[in-house]
Amino acid sequence: MNAEEKSWEIHSAEFVLSAVRRRHYPQPSLPQVAFSGRSNCGKSSLLNCLVRRRNLAKTSGKPGHTRLVNFFLVENRCHFVDLPGYGYAKAPPAEKEKWRRSTEEFLKDNPCLRLMVLLLDARRTPSELDDVLVEFLKHLRIPFLLVLTKSDKLGRAELEKSRKAIAAHYALPKGELPIATSAEKGTGREELLKRIHQSVLEKSEE
């Protein structure tokens, strides 16, 4: 099958477990695609949209909802991983430190991680923690994909402006723009799934 041409339809997705430490991650380990981003940027909603399940990952109007590393088994062949959101202003320092440690533990020396999907609210400029995370991903040579969320909240012109601004901010290769998505409308779903599928397939077939 040519992964570049075919869009990926997901038929099965189930919650596996929530963990903080690596020793609690699911076994056997499978290729992983992780979703990370600022608190409340729409990670859990987008994950549900991708697998077409309304409430698989818990969503909330209140920021700081996802505090653990949540694993979902998708098509019995890979794990989607919902990472805790960051940058929630009201989080106590101990909570922030927990976020830093669990995220670092997940990212470092993790050969299963095929792709990190970094989500950014289309309406906001990237935060310092977004920048820190991007630098860390580059440093660890982890492939990542920038994705804008809640694109339904912007008009077409504003959205294009936001995509270009993010591409410039993170010095993406010429012509490359972040994928604009809306969990509410399903926008960008197929394109994102295609990219995820390519990453999962690539190394499994090496």
102 touches ligand GTP (CB under 6 A): no
CB of 173 to ligand GTP, least distance (A): 26
In sequence order, which residues have a C-beta less than 8 Å from that of residue 132 and are 6 or more positions away? none
45 binds, among Mg ion, ligand GTP, none (CB under 5 to 8 A by kind): ligand GTP
Alpha helices (runs of H) in the chain, residue ranges in sequence order: 43-51, 93-107, 128-139, 156-169, 189-204
Residues 104-163 that bind ligand GTP (CB under 6 A): 149-150, 152-153
> Looking at 38-121, which runs of residues are DSSP E strands?
69-74, 78-82, 113-121
CA-based nearest residue to 17, from 58, 71, 79: 71
- Quick note: the x/- pattern for ligand GTP over 79-98, rule CB under 6 A, is ------x-------------
78 beta partners: 74
For ligand GTP, the closer CB: 31 or 64: 64
- Quick note: the x/- pattern for ligand GTP over 167-186, rule CB under 6 A, is ---------------xxx--
